[in-house]
């Protein structure tokens, strides 16, 4: 198949799913995710095996922003990548709970902040080749400082800094969390 590299696509194609699921077997399940092994017919007509991770929560990210364009980052050691990570406040939101309610809970829990003004910044897929996880990022303004309410699994540091400095940390590679990177870069482009 040949492609015209000069072609400009103004709208995403709305084609039917070319993948045909044959069988699906759950091979792992816990309160946060399940893993399935699917046998599929791929777009070329061949048989493929696909591992699919299905999350039981939305990924919710929040960028608190004060009147001087300062924001807050949360630092914690992440078990799976085995490294320390600076991120925007974030967490999981139950699928049956309004995403904004989950965002308000996460912001208060991790930073102690309460916001009176909320705006959805963006939606995203975190790793769409192997997972169905969806994320929503909010900007929270009109902030009041309260007490944090860390979960048992959280050993967090909280840092207040300018949005410009947070974006510099993204560009330098210090911030690598995908939701944080996407949200901070998009917010910087919109203000």
Q: Per-residue pLDDT tens for 30-53? A: 999 999 999 999 989 999 998 999
Instruction: Catalogue the E-assigned strands of 65-168.
Output: 70-78, 83-87, 90-94, 113-125, 134-145, 157-162
The pLDDT confidence band at residue 87, using thresholds 50, 70 and 90, is very high
Q: Report residue 65 as tokens.
A: 């922003």
Residue 120 has pLDDT above 60, yes or no: yes
pLDDT of residue 151: 79
Residue 56 exposed, middle or buried by CB count within 10 Å (0-12, 13-18, 19+) = middle
Give the catalytic positions in this structure: 154
The pLDDT confidence band at residue 8, using thresholds 50, 70 and 90, is low
Nearest to 153 by CA among 102, 78, 85, 97: 78
Residue 4 has pLDDT above 60, yes or no: no
Residue 2 has pLDDT above 60, yes or no: no
pLDDT of residue 96: 94
57-190: CATH topology is Nucleoside Triphosphate Pyrophosphohydrolase (3.90.79)
pLDDT of residue 154: 77
Instruction: Please give the model's pTM, rounded to 2 decimal places.
Output: 0.86
pLDDT of residue 148: 87
Reduce the DSSP state of residue 85 to 3 states and report it: strand
| Three-point CA angle 73, 181, 90, nearest 5° | 45
pLDDT digits (tens, 9 = 90+) for 139-158: 999 999 999 888 787 788 99
CB half-sphere exposure, 99, CA atoms < 13 A: 19
| Three-point CA angle 24, 93, 142, nearest 5° | 155
Write the DSSP symbol of residue 56: S
Sign of CA dihedral 132, 128, 180, 175: positive
């Amino acid at each position: 198949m040949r492609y015209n590299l000069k072609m400009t696509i103004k709208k995403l194609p709305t084609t039917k799913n070319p993948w045909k699921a044959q069988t699906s077997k759950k091979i792992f399940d816990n309160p946060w995710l399940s893993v399935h092994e699917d046998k599929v017919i791929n777009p070329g007509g061949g048989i493929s095996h696909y591992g699919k991770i299905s999350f039981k929560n939305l990924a919710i990210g929040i960028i608190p922003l004060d009147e001087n364009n300062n924001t807050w980052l949360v630092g914690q050691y992440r078990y799976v990548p085995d490294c320390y990570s600076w991120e925007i406040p974030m967490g999981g939101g139950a699928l049956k709970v309004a995403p904004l309610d989950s965002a308000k809970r996460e912001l208060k829990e991790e930073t102690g902040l309460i916001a009176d003004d909320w705006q959805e910044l963006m939606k995203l897929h975190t790793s769409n080749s192997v997972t169905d996880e969806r994320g929503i990022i909010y900007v929270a303004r009109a902030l009041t400082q309260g007490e944090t309410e860390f979960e048992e699994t959280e050993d967090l540091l909280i840092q207040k800094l300018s949005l410009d400095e947070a974006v510099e940390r993204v560009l330098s590679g210090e911030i690598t969390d995908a939701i944080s990177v996407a949200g901070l870069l998009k917010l910087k482009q919109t203000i």
